[in-house]
Structure 1
Amino acid sequence: MAPYIRKSTRQSWDEKNMSNAIAAVNSKKMGWQKAATIYNVPATTLRRRAAKGESSKGYLGGHKTTFTKDLEEQIIKHLQELEVRFFGMTTTDLRRLAYQIAVAKNIPHRFSSENQMAGVDWLRGFRLRNPSISLRIPEATSAARARGFNKVQVQTFFKLLVDVMKQHNFEPQQIWNVDESGYSTVPSQNPKVFATKGRKQVGVLTSAERGHHYTSVCCVNALGSFIPPAFIFPRKNMKAELIDGGPTGAVGFAQEKGWMNGEVFLKWMQHFVKHAKPSKETKALLLLDGHSSHKNLEVLTFAKENHVILFCFPPHCTHKMQPLDISFFGPLNTFYNKELHMWLRNHPGRVVTHLQVAEIFKLA
């Protein structure tokens, strides 16, 4: 949709001039016509507004802005605070946030309930009304990673991290790191086996050629204590038997694609608070990546209410700075593949499904 071009000349006068004209007439320094001429405002409008005691412009019709000026200023402040913590929002994130705020505060809106986000027209108007924020064009992921992990970026991150830690006096047991990783019912890599020298093709038995995926969510603190893992299965309804034999205290969530989203991450946050037990005196610092599911309004509100401070890694740097990625998921994946092969050997004629992965994950 093209930007709207105003065609009417109504209310094209200046509010400050109208206020000065009203003050001049009320103080009897000049009459209506003279004040209207000197201050360049319509005489009839001057009479009407002086009688009502109003100098600001009224509403001409059309679509009003969804949020008040004060609420938009709060949104801007929120965006700026997130950006400082490397939690910057994309245009889609902001449109989702606008929808969530409108629904949470019961504000009448024209946003899409099907897509659960504000439209591009609202976003354009929001940016025009708030020139203090700008939109940066992202680079391609490969190039961004090569340039994103640099000395300035890393120094800025650790400076902000030190400031937050000093402000709240975090102890090692209060500093947590969470990350998600995808797994399958089929090994991602097969082990080497002995075979006849010169043989062109060597096979190994697996559950299927492609397998079924799921997501695991792990969280560890600086002392090595961990929150019981969570599993996200690609299904509509969760069944308790999917986590039978899994790690003690593990939980399972159902999501149609088996991926993390805002709704699932909110459930995981409730699981985290239950085990980490943060309080006003002993808050929890949770280090995580900038995935859109971590920026959900309900998640941010829940974290604030339950004394959890979310701190995001710089963009395109998690491959070097995410502790769980570097030191945990790599070895875990190796042992997980090993346990998958062991399970298939011990259960000939059977295949691994989602009903067995929690138990295999525990053994790994």
Structure 2
Amino acid sequence: DGNRENITIMVTICADGTEIPPTVIYKGKAFGTQWHHNNNLGASVAHSTKGWTDGVIGHHWIKDFDKKTCEKANGRPRLLLVDGHNSHYTEAFLSYARQQNIHVLCYPAHTTHIYQGLDVAVFGTLKRCWSEERDEFKRTTGQKITKKNFIQVYQKAHIRAVTPATIKAAFERTGVCPLNRQVITTDMMATSLVTSNQGHLPLLQPSPVRVLADAIHQYQ
């Protein structure tokens, strides 16, 4: 309906099968205290004017990533794989990453459907689970999804979809962990065929047209 607003969910997974609680970004000019209600998922909550991430949120996010992964890293470098959103490439984001020995690696443009494990193995299931949980909530309560109850409903889908098994599959199916250079094939990276403007002449005409054309041709 006309009251829909953007909500962004930043999902972060680790190659050992664990995850960092997601960040939920609501559209708004000020923080709503009710947005945290029933947040058993432990999600971080933020807001922006459009409901998308931005440089400020990205900077806070990488600090949260550092805080929640530094212990198991135990002084070793951490590899952070990200897409090409500009919030991942601000001076503040990259400077903080460099200081904390976090190596930021971006997927090539237009390849997240191949390289990004979340796209390959997680988001499809998460989308299906979200649709089921949303519909069940509406059916049993008669309520619409709002900022106040969004996390309450979303967390059920998240718990069902983002499991240790699917997380590990995300890294395995993209060849990241265990490292497998054979997973991404040449065919998968081939340039898409442009078919919308390829013409093949002469065009095959419907039967009555062909009959008439043949008749005209006989008298030329």
Q: Do both share a fold (TM > 0.5)? A: yes
Residue-pair matches, total:
156
- Equivalent position of 1:289 in the other structure: 83
- The answer on whether the counterparts of 2:27 and 2:47 sit within 8 Å (CA) in structure 1 is yes
Matched, 1:213 2:6: yes
- Equivalent position of 2:53 in the other structure: 260
- Equivalent position of 2:96 in the other structure: 302
Of the two structures, which has the highest relative contact order with CA contacts closer than 8 Å and spacing of 6 or more? 2
Q: State TM-score, norm by structure 2.
A: 0.67
Give deviations 1:164-194, integer Å, cap 9, x for gaps: xxxxxxxxxxxxxxxxxxxxxxxxxxxxxxx
Q: In structure 2, what is the Cα distance between the partners aligned to 1:295 and 1:248?
A: 28
Matched, 1:234 2:35: no
Code of the residue aligned with 2:145 in structure 1: it is: V
Q: State TM-score, norm by structure 1.
A: 0.41
Q: In structure 1, what is the Cα distance between the partners aligned to 2:42 and 2:101?
A: 22
Q: Give 1:213 deviation, angstroms.
A: 2.1
Give deviations 1:269-327, integer Å, cap 9, x for gaps: 11111111166722211101111111100000111112211011111111211100111
Q: In structure 1, what is the Cα distance between the partners aligned to 2:50 and 2:2?
A: 19
- Equivalent position of 2:43 in the other structure: 250
Q: In structure 2, what is the Cα distance between the partners aligned to 1:238 and 1:210?
A: 19
Q: Give 1:209 deviation, angstroms.
A: 6.2
Matched, 1:359 2:152: yes
Q: Give 1:358 deviation, angstroms.
A: 0.7
Change (3 A) 1:281 1:317: same
Code of the residue aligned with 2:35 in structure 1: it is: L
Q: Give 1:247 deviation, angstroms.
A: 4.2
Q: In structure 1, what is the Cα distance between the partners aligned to 2:4 and 2:108?
A: 33
- The answer on whether the counterparts of 1:287 and 1:313 sit within 8 Å (CA) in structure 2 is yes
Whose Rg is larger? 1
Question: What does residue range 87-166 of structure 1 map to in structure 2 within 5 Å?
Answer: none
Q: In structure 2, what is the Cα distance between the partners aligned to 1:287 and 1:334?
A: 25
Matched, 1:330 2:137: no
Change (3 A) 1:275 1:306: same
Code of the residue aligned with 1:284 in structure 2: it is: R
Matched, 1:275 2:52: no
- The answer on whether the counterparts of 1:245 and 1:358 sit within 8 Å (CA) in structure 2 is yes
Code of the residue aligned with 2:49 in structure 1: it is: E
Aligned sequence identity (%): 27
- The answer on whether the counterparts of 2:23 and 2:45 sit within 8 Å (CA) in structure 1 is yes
User: Counterpart of 2:16 in 1: which secondary structure?
Assistant: coil
- The answer on whether the counterparts of 2:12 and 2:22 sit within 8 Å (CA) in structure 1 is yes
- The answer on whether the counterparts of 2:28 and 2:51 sit within 8 Å (CA) in structure 1 is yes
